[in-house]
Every structure is written in structure tokens, then in C-alpha cells.
Amino acid sequence: MNRKDEHVSLAKAFHKDHSNDFDAVQLVHHSFPGIDVDQVSIATMLFDRRFANPFFINAMTGGSQKTQVINRDLAEIAQACDLMMATGSVSAALKDPTVADSFTIVRKTFPEGFLLANIGAGSPVENAQRAVDLFQADALQIHLNAPQELVMPEGDRDFRQWLTLLEKTVAQVKVPVIVKEVGFGMSRETIQQLLDIGVETIDVAGSGGTSFTQIENARRKKRDMAYLDSFGQSTVISLLESNEVNQPFTRIASGGIRDALDIFKALCLGAQSVGLSGTILNLLLTKGKEETITIIQSWQAQLRLLYTMVGQTQTSDLTNVPIVFSGPVKDWCEARRIPLTTYSFR
């Protein structure tokens, strides 16, 4: 089986409803919202551009005939719901032009869409630009996935040039660059390293959703690295870490987003936009395209109600919402000297 098809099959097999650190985030309720739902806009700003929705379809797949169909359906969903969309890593198409259609289909399907190409951190600058050019991407995602590579039987083993290559790419590629994890989260130290080389937009992409160490371990003959199945920082913790960096940048959150409430909580924690992958893929594969569109549109409506509930009329004001943390998130904050009262009394 094609590795990309294996990833989709295993992601679907491992997908299940389960608790994650978003459940340790509790909103402090105040009884007088003081606004009308009609005053609310859920729009957000990214890349000096207004987006109608504060969430998008994040990187998933491409590289085979089966994933071409999935990317076409995802692009149709993005078009129907007015969402930004990323493809999976286009490295496969750069190596084998015969699978390029599995990525270019997104531009063909959603010609006016804001579309992101995706490539690995170890890619040279020329490949990064080729990834953008493949379907005239509006921005480039560069993914960080060292744990996945190490568990992957055929994965990379040399990471010495990653930061250097990232710096060159950010300086030379002609579209905005997002650096993202793939579900292992980020520390404030990692974020500072990225800011120091000129990165301006970061997707912290924490654990709590699809686990690529779990997927790659299932592809190992002995399946002997299951202890890394839940490795990494959660999305909630990664956002809290990001808020400890004393330098402005654009935050994107992804990883373990299950519904409108998780999107909302991520925005309250400082994300300007929220990416969904596994949840949307599972909806598409189990419920079909039309029902997936209906569910996403219901999230959009629910978000307006949630904004109203906390008395905020726009996305950028959600960081005024007071939040209390419990369990492992609280423990992490105490261990990493993240002041809890900054959030509970804001």
C-alpha cells in the first residue's frame, strides 16, 4: 500500500472520541454578556488579510489516487464553508510528478480559495518554492516532525540542517510561511528559535488528536515504540507556552480540535486561527461530504453564540475571557512558571 494511503487508513482506524487537555480548560461564567448576537463577527486576520472564519482545514494528505479524491472532497468542503485549506506534504509530487494531480486538484476544485502547500523542514529552498508553484499556493506550511521521522522505518535521521534551511526558506520564498508541528506541540524555547530566524506565523500543533508516532509505530515490523504514542505537549499547553514568549507573532492552533467549543477555547488562549485535520477527515470518511459541510456550518453558527455568551463581539477580544485550568495543564503551568492568575482574573 502507498505510504500516504497507509497514513489515511491508520488515521481513520485510530480516530476515536477521547478526552484531551481542552477538557482541563474551564471558562469563567459572568451572567451579563451585554451584547446582541447580531453584533458578533467571527472573522479573523491572518497574513494582513481578513478571513470570514477563525478555523480552517489543516494539512492532511495527497500523493496517491485515493488521496486525490479526498483532497478534491476537502476542497469542495472548504469552498462550501468559506475556509482556508492546506494540503498534505507535497514532497511526494516533487519526487514523482505522476502524483501531482492529487495536490493540484485543490486549486482546480477551489480556484478562488486561499490554499496552503506543505513541505518538510529538511527541504531545500528550491523545493519549497516548487511546492508553492505546484498549485499557486497562497502560503507555505513547513512541518516539523522529528519524532515521526525517527519512528518511521524509512524516516530521516539527520536533523542538523533543519533550522538553517528554514531560515533560508523564510527569507527567499515569495509567499507567507507558516512553521507547524504535526501533533507534538511546541515549547517557548522552540518558538523563540523560530522567531529568531524570521518566522512570523507559527502553528503550535499539539498532541491530543492524530498521533503520527502511533501511525508510524503501526508500520514498524515489531511495533516496538508504542511508548511514544502520546508523546509531546498538548495544544493547550503549547498555546500557554507560546504566550510566555515576549515577542509578537501570529499563533495558529491545531491538534485535538473536536468541535466548536475546542475551537473557541483555542481562540481564547490566543490563537488567531485554528486548524482541523483528523476530525474533518473522520467526518468525511464516515458521514460523507454533504453531512460534513452541514456540521462545519453548524460550528460556524455555534461560534457566534459562544462569542455572545462571553460578551465578546470579535475574535481578537476573546483573550479577555477568564479561564481556569485543572489537572495536568495546571501541573504543567506550575512546573514551567506560567502564572495561572494571568488567565483566571483577566
Q: Give me the tens of pLDDT residue by residue for the chain, a chain 346 residues long.
A: 566 666 666 555 656 678 899 999 999 999 999 999 999 999 999 999 999 999 999 999 998 989 999 999 999 999 999 999 999 999 999 999 999 999 999 999 999 999 999 999 999 999 999 999 999 999 999 999 999 999 999 999 999 999 999 999 999 999 999 999 999 999 999 999 999 999 999 999 999 988 889 999 999 999 999 999 999 999 999 999 999 999 999 999 999 999 999 999 999 999 999 999 999 999 999 999 999 999 999 999 999 999 999 999 999 999 999 999 999 999 999 999 999 999 999 9
Global pTM reads 0.94
Q: Which residues are annotated as a binding site for substrate?
A: 3-4, 148
pLDDT at 210: 87
Q: What's the rounded Cα separation, in Å, for the pair 26 and 106? A: 37
pLDDT at 246: 95
Q: Which residues are annotated as a binding site?
A: 3-4, 59-61, 89, 118, 148-149, 180, 210, 256-258, 277-278
Q: Which residues are annotated as a binding site for Mg(2+)?
A: 149
Backbone angles phi and psi of 58, in degrees to 5 = -90, 175
**Are residues 212 and 187 in contact, defined by beta-carbon separation less than 8 angstroms?**
no
Q: Which residues are annotated as a binding site for FMN?
A: 59-61, 89, 118, 180, 210, 256-258, 277-278
Q: At what angle do helices 235-242 and 327-335 cross, to 10 degrees?
A: 30
Q: 3.30.1490.190, 3.20.20.20, 2.40.50.1070, 3.20.20.70: which CATH number matches 3-344?
A: 3.20.20.70
pLDDT at 12: 55
